[in-house]
Amino acid sequence: MTIASAAINAVWKDTHARFNIDDSRIYAAGFSGGARVACQFGFALAGKIAGIVACGAGFPTNITPSRSTPFVVFSTVGNADFNYP
């Protein structure tokens, strides 16, 4: 298990233990490497994440987005950002 996966699972367990959460309305967001982790979060919990807001980066290099991606994505990046391509 990667450090990011362990963090994702810890956040999931903690928030669900302490808060009344509507599982159909869960979103994750991140900037740069955090955007990649947010996308990983969406795949790790497929069907439980409604959407991802990714700023300054996108999917991790080992994940290819497709029509079957299990969440909606809003991405934003500056055209001079090295993550733009």
**Block means of pLDDT (10 residues each) for the chain, length 85 residues?**
80 94 91 91 89 92 91 90 75
Domain count, the chain: 1
**How many Å from the N-terminal Cα to the C-terminal Cα in the chain?**
29
Per-residue pLDDT, 27: 95
In a domain, 21, yes or no: yes
Residue 43 domain-assigned (yes or no): yes
Q: Which of 55, 57, 51 is nearest to 69 (CA)?
A: 51
82 domain residue, yes or no: no
28/54 Cα distance (integer angstroms): 8
How far, in Å, CA of 63 to CA of 25, rounded?
Answer: 23
- Residues 69 and 48 sit within 8 Å (Cβ to Cβ): no
Tracing tokens 């740069």 back to the chain, one arrives at: 32
